[in-house]
Chain A
Amino acid sequence: MTQQTPSSPQRPMTGAEIFVRSLIAEHVDVVFGYPGGAVIGIYDALHDISDIKHILTRHEQGAVHAAEGYAKASGKCGVALVTSGPGATNTVTGIADAYMDSIPIVVFTGQVALKLIGNDAFQEADIVGITRPITKHNYLVRDVNELAATIKEAFYVATTGRPGPVLVDLPKDVMATKTIFSYPKTVKMRSYIPHAEGNQKQLDKAVALIAKAKRPVLYVGGGTILSNAAEELTAFARKTNIPVTTTLHGLGAFPETDELSMGMLGMHGTWYSNTAVNYCDLLIAVGARFDDRVTGKTDAFAPEAKKIHIDIDPSNISKNVKVDVPIVGDVKKVLQQLLPQVTALDTKDWRQTIRNWKEEHPLRYRNGKFIRMQHVISAVSEATKGNAVMVSDVGQHQMWMAQFFRYVHPRTHLTSGGLGTMGFSLPAAMGAAFARKDMPVISISGDGGFQMNLQELATIREHNVPVKIIILNNGYLGMVRQWQELFWRKRYSHVEMFGPDYVKLAEAYGIPGFRATTTDQVEDVVKQMLATDGPVLVEFKTVKEDNVYPMIPAGQTYHEIIDIPNDSSAPVNGEQESDLELVTIAKG
């Protein structure tokens, strides 16, 4: 690698070389991408670079999800590089996904030469216009002299404040023009200055409310993990004796082995966390945004509670639910400020009440001869003791993975929460595996979502990425089927689905694959999967019909919560009611 870096920094370089040098300056170690005509110069500049690993995905959507997975699992910024036109438009779903879930990624898109923009040139798309509402910010680089500063700014905007995706559009001629490279050391943006510390007056009000609380609940969201504040949050909860419930994205912010944990809240949250929120007198929202999947009907959400809301994004404050004490700031900083000011609360009675609720209404599923998804997830949880990066897709298995896996570390639960992107899991898990070597990365998909991005099996095989791939195959789009069963008179419209032989498919890609079809095989197959080096695919043939419970129907209140039916109204999937066993799990 003698020629890879220029000997003198004063030598004029092409935009393409500057691009590569800028990524190195940002300590980017892996780029997920796909070449094409508009970025051929950039790919030429990448060719001799050993500091950056480029992973050729099989679809640009896979590249962006991989960058997301990498970012979520590592806390660093993910990077994707694609060509213009269709390359750029294929990134749109991934970018929208990252925007909804506040994931720091920078997506570089090729663009036709400046003089051709607007000409309907070959492979031209106005990607800056298309992605304006789904990026935190985006740029079209019109002058090679602005390239390095724009890249610096893009990484800064993506990773600071409320993180999010940033897109940088790179016209082909700009990237071929030469200039002197100089990477700025700092970013100065007079129009963008993220808040970090909480306002002391607001903190004082919060401290006073906390001191008076008899039945407090911490409602913890993904912002806690994004700001690397799991440690501070755990210390805060333990110091104050406040029970903790997390959102889907908050899973892992607080260990679910702790007595204070109540698991997830919301539409498919635990019965006891939703009950505790309903009866609490103080709700402390930490890096959470009162999403409709959490609150249901907003004016009946935590109706008895005073509300404190810590969030870095002022536009999240009082957006859905009016709060008493808003604190705008970085969760980590704000918790560090609050920690010395709070004291232990006597919540013994409240915690006992919650413990009783946990015993009365634990998470439950009815197990039988044939495989239940909840059982597979519990088995993975037991086998890994929470030491795994779990990446789910979207649908029933996603909710069960949230419910039945016991999370103990931050950045071990990756999912598409806001956008709900089917096809997320496989490429995101692949990206996560480039970031995390300390624990296995496990992708769980339904058969529907898996078929949306299965082309990445080739990428996984090519780089021997050690992703453990689980397909929970019920031959249905299970969540839609569940809604059709409960709310659309069991008219199962277009939800039953044919799939290939997944074990043969794995073999075709050169990935070991095996299958489990009965309940008694589940534990062994999970062990076998974890013991396999490199990538491995396991198909669990599960029962066709099962429902996620508890459930608060969309837009309704805690009082409409549906727990698992105790009678034979639940589907038995061809088995005898008397042979089914009720399995219970309570978190914390």
Chain B
Amino acid sequence: MATAAEVPAEQAVHKHTISVLLENKFGALNRVAGMFSAKGYNLESITVGPTEDATVSRMTLVTKGDDAIIEQIIKQLNKLIDTLKVVDLTYESYMERELALIKVGTTPENRSEIMQIAEIFQGKIIDISHKTMTVEATGSGQKVDAIIKMLKPFHIKEIARTGRVALKREFVGEA
């Protein structure tokens, strides 16, 4: 087995965040997702939604691969007839957000502790019942991972989590 250090840089597998602008047409998501499965590429998450222009959708993809695979993914995305623009954000400065809804089983004793954790992560309590509370968390994937980890000891009942959305930063350093 080769250790990570022995793998040439271009063959090292990295996570990439790719932003795709597409014609907002019937089946666009299917075309992209279908291309990934047909070509056997990894697809960790895919989100799609409208943009400021109603005729255009933005898709944000998180995928993994070495340089050659990522190059092919970008070419194959460009090859789709409805694709307007593909940007690999990985080498740019970019903002990314994920959102998670985390339903936690509660007791009268641990409610305040859960609320504190939510507060530390700038999360919100958006639903409460006698036995549950639901926390809304947004942030980078890492941040969402972290709050989930912190809430784990409290018996997480359900999680709904989005994929990543991302945009390139205009001025490096500004939030």
A contact set with B: CB distance below 8 Å:
128-129, 132-133, 136-137, 140, 142, 157, 189-192, 313-315, 317-319
CB distance from A195 to the nearest CB of B (A): 11
CB distance from A139 to the nearest CB of B (A): 9
Q: A129-B30, A132-B30, A140-B26 are in contact. Are A318 and B81 (CB under 8 A)?
A: no
A191 and B83 within 8 A (CB): yes
Q: A157-B81, A191-B83, A315-B72 are in contact. Are A133 and B26 (CB under 8 A)?
A: no
A132 and B27 within 8 A (CB): yes
Residues of chain B with a CB closer than 8 A to A129's CB? 27, 30
Q: Which of B34, B68, B78, B84 contacts A190 (CB 8 A)?
A: B84
Docked Cα-Cα span, A195 to B79, in Å, equals 12
B31 and A132 within 8 A (CB): yes
B75 and A315 within 8 A (CB): yes
A132 and B26 within 8 A (CB): no
The 0/1 profile, CB within 8 Å of A marked 1, for residues 36-53 of chain B is 001000000000000000
Residues of chain A with a CB closer than 8 A to B31's CB? 132
Can you list 9 contacts pairing A with B, beta carbon distance less than 8 Å? A128-B27, A129-B30, A140-B26, A142-B26, A157-B81, A189-B81, A190-B84, A191-B22, A315-B72
A318 and B84 within 8 A (CB): no
Docked Cα-Cα span, A199 to B81, in Å, equals 22
Q: A128-B27, A132-B27, A318-B71 are in contact. Are A191 and B76 (CB under 8 A)?
A: no
Q: Which of B26, B76, B81, B84 contacts A315 (CB 8 A)?
A: B76
B98 located at the interface, meaning its Cβ lies under 8 Å from any Cβ of chain A in the complex: no
Residues of chain A with a CB closer than 8 A to B72's CB? 315, 319
B156 located at the interface, meaning its Cβ lies under 8 Å from any Cβ of chain A in the complex: no
For chain B residues 131-146, which have a beta carbon within 8 Å of chain A?
none
By beta carbon, the residue of chain A nearest B68 is A318
By beta carbon, the residue of chain A nearest B39 is A133
B23 located at the interface, meaning its Cβ lies under 8 Å from any Cβ of chain A in the complex: yes
B38 and A136 within 8 A (CB): no
Docked Cα-Cα span, A166 to B93, in Å, equals 39
Residues of chain A with a CB closer than 8 A to B27's CB? 128-129, 132, 140
By beta carbon, the residue of chain B nearest A132 is B34
Give the interface centre of A136, A140, A314, A315 by most chain B CB atoms within 10 Å. Answer: A315
8 additional contacts, CB 8 Å, given A132-B34, A191-B83, A192-B81? A129-B27, A133-B35, A140-B27, A313-B79, A314-B78, A315-B72, A315-B75, A318-B71
Docked Cα-Cα span, A129 to B23, in Å, equals 18
Give the interface centre of B30, B75, B81 by most chain A CB atoms within 10 Å. Answer: B81
B82 located at the interface, meaning its Cβ lies under 8 Å from any Cβ of chain A in the complex: yes
B75 and A191 within 8 A (CB): no
By beta carbon, the residue of chain A nearest B84 is A191
Docked Cα-Cα span, A133 to B27, in Å, equals 12
For chain B residues 63-78, which have a beta carbon within 8 Å of chain A?
68, 71-72, 75-76, 78
A314 and B84 within 8 A (CB): no
B38 and A133 within 8 A (CB): yes
B38 and A191 within 8 A (CB): no
Residues of chain A with a CB closer than 8 A to B71's CB? 318
Docked Cα-Cα span, A190 to B55, in Å, equals 12
Docked Cα-Cα span, A140 to B75, in Å, equals 25
Which A-B residue pairs are the 10 nearest by beta carbons?
A315-B75, A137-B81, A133-B38, A191-B84, A192-B81, A314-B75, A315-B79, A191-B23, A191-B82, A132-B34
Residues of chain B with a CB closer than 8 A to A140's CB? 26-27
Residues of chain A with a CB closer than 8 A to B23's CB? 191
Residues of chain A with a CB closer than 8 A to B35's CB? 133
Residues of chain B with a CB closer than 8 A to A192's CB? 81
Residues of chain A with a CB closer than 8 A to B78's CB? 314-315
A191 and B68 within 8 A (CB): no
Docked Cα-Cα span, A71 to B43, in Å, equals 37
Q: Which of A133, A189, A315, A317 contacts B34 (CB 8 A)?
A: A133
Docked Cα-Cα span, A318 to B71, in Å, equals 9
By beta carbon, the residue of chain A nearest B30 is A132
Docked Cα-Cα span, A318 to B66, in Å, equals 14
By beta carbon, the residue of chain B nearest A322 is B68
Residues of chain A with a CB closer than 8 A to B81's CB? 136-137, 157, 189, 191-192
Residues of chain A with a CB closer than 8 A to B76's CB? 315
Docked Cα-Cα span, A44 to B23, in Å, equals 35
CB distance from B39 to the nearest CB of A (A): 9
Residues of chain B with a CB closer than 8 A to A314's CB? 75, 78-79
Docked Cα-Cα span, A157 to B23, in Å, equals 16
Residues of chain A with a CB closer than 8 A to B22's CB? 191
Docked Cα-Cα span, A318 to B84, in Å, equals 23
Docked Cα-Cα span, A318 to B75, in Å, equals 11
Residues of chain B with a CB closer than 8 A to A136's CB? 81
Residues of chain B with a CB closer than 8 A to A315's CB? 72, 75-76, 78-79
Docked Cα-Cα span, A142 to B26, in Å, equals 10
Docked Cα-Cα span, A318 to B70, in Å, equals 12
CB distance from A580 to the nearest CB of B (A): 47
Docked Cα-Cα span, A251 to B89, in Å, equals 43
By beta carbon, the residue of chain A nearest B77 is A315
CB distance from B68 to the nearest CB of A (A): 7
Residues of chain A with a CB closer than 8 A to B84's CB? 190-191
CB distance from A233 to the nearest CB of B (A): 25
